[in-house]
Amino acid sequence: MGPRSDSGIPTTVFDRYHPVVALVYFASVLVLAMAAMQPVYLALAVAAAWLCNAWLKGWPSALRTAAWQVPVVLIAAVLNPLFSSTGSTELFRIGYRAVYLESFVYGICMGLMLMAVLLWFSNASRVLTSDKVMALLGNVAPTVALMLSMAARLVPQFVGRGGEIEAVQQACSKTRPASFRDRVRWRGRIVTVLMGWSMEDSLEKADAMKARGWASAEKRTQYRPYRFRAADAVACAVLAALVAGNAFLAWIACSQYHFYPVASTLVAWWGYVPYAVLVFAPLGADAFDRMRWRRIERRMRAYRGSSDGGA
C-alpha cells in the first residue's frame, strides 16, 4: 500500500505541486502510450504504469487488475491474426487461412497499448482527486466546477435517501409486493418518492443559496485551494521539454519500426532512456523521497539518542 494521508488518499510526489503538473504529466504519458506503437515503448509504458498502479493502490489491487488485463492482451493477440492475415512467417493454417507470427505480435502490442492506457487512466484518477479536478476546472469554467460540486453533493444524498425509502417500504410487511408486476411498480414508487422529496428540498436549497448571496455580485469568484508557484512552472517546463524530446524520439523509433511484412529487429538504443525516465519519474521521485526521509529519521533518532544520553 502507498503512504496515506489523514484523509485516506495516498500522498504522492504530485502533492508537492499544483494539480496542473499532474494533469500535464498524465495527459502526456497517455498520449505517448497511444501514439507510440512500438514494442519497446509499449513494454516500458505497461511496466511503469503497472508498477505505478501497485504503488498507488497496493499490490493486491494491482494483481487483481493484472488478472483480468493480461487475458485481455492475450485475447487481442489471438484475435488479431484471425482478422488480419498479413505477415511473412507462417505459423500454421486454419483451413485456407494462414496465421502469421507478425500479426500475432501486432495483436500483443495492441493489447499492451490498451492495458497501458487503462492503467494510466486508473493512476490518473487516483492522483487527480475530485477536488483537484474541480480546482483545475474552476480556473477555466467556474460554473461547470460549481455544478460538478453540487452534483457530487447530491449523488450520495440521493443514494442514502433511496436506501432509506426502500427500507421503510420494505419494513411495512403487509404492503410488500407479492407478484412480479407489483415488484416493478414498487420500484417505480421508490423513484417517485425520491423525486418528490428532492424537488421539495430543492426549493429550500434555492432559498439557502439566495440567502448566501447567490447571484448578488456581477462576477462570481472562485476559491483557489492551490496556488501556481515558481516550482510548478519549473516542473511544467522540465516536463514539457522531456515530453517534446520523447515525442521526437518516439517518432523516429516508430518510423523505423515495421510489423509487416517482416517485423524489424529491435536493437539497444539510447533513445529509449528518456522515455524510461519519463514513465518511471513518479516512482523514482517517490523512491528518492523515501530515501531522503530515511536519512532524516536516522538523523532525528541520532539527535534524540544523543540528547537523551546527555540528560
Question: Which residues are near other proteins by CB under 8 A?
Answer: 7, 130-131, 134, 142, 146, 149-150, 152-153, 156-157, 160-161, 164-165, 167-168, 170-175, 189, 192-193, 196-197, 200-201, 204-205, 207-225
Beta strands in the chain (DSSP E): 90-94, 97-100
Minimum CB separation of residue 58 from other proteins in Å reads 13
Q: Which is nearer to other proteins, 130 or 256 (CB)?
A: 130
Minimum CB separation of residue 166 from other proteins in Å reads 8
Q: Which is nearer to other proteins, 117 or 135 (CB)?
A: 135
**Whose CA is closest to 14, among 43, 308, 24, 201?**
24
What's the maximum distance between 2 C-alpha atoms anywhere in the chain? 89
Minimum CB separation of residue 109 from other proteins in Å reads 38
Q: Which is nearer to other proteins, 110 or 193 (CB)?
A: 193
Whether residue 169 contacts residue 209, with contact meaning beta carbons closer than 8 Å, is answered with: no
The alpha carbon of residue 293 and the mean position of all alpha carbons in its chain are separated, in whole angstroms, by 27
Start-to-end C-alpha separation, the chain: 39
**Whose CA is closest to 26, among 113, 115, 121?**
121
Angstrom distance (rounded) from CA 212 to CA 206: 10
CB atoms within 10 A of CB 310: 6
Query: What are 189's three cell numbers?
Result: 414508487
Q: Which is nearer to other proteins, 155 or 287 (CB)?
A: 155
Angstrom distance (rounded) from CA 305 to CA 308: 5
Q: Which is nearer to other proteins, 200 or 297 (CB)?
A: 200
Minimum CB separation of residue 215 from other proteins in Å reads 7
* Residue 10, strand partner residues: 4
Minimum CB separation of residue 141 from other proteins in Å reads 14
Minimum CB separation of residue 286 from other proteins in Å reads 22
Q: Which is nearer to other proteins, 118 or 131 (CB)?
A: 131
| 3-state DSSP assignment of residue 99 | strand
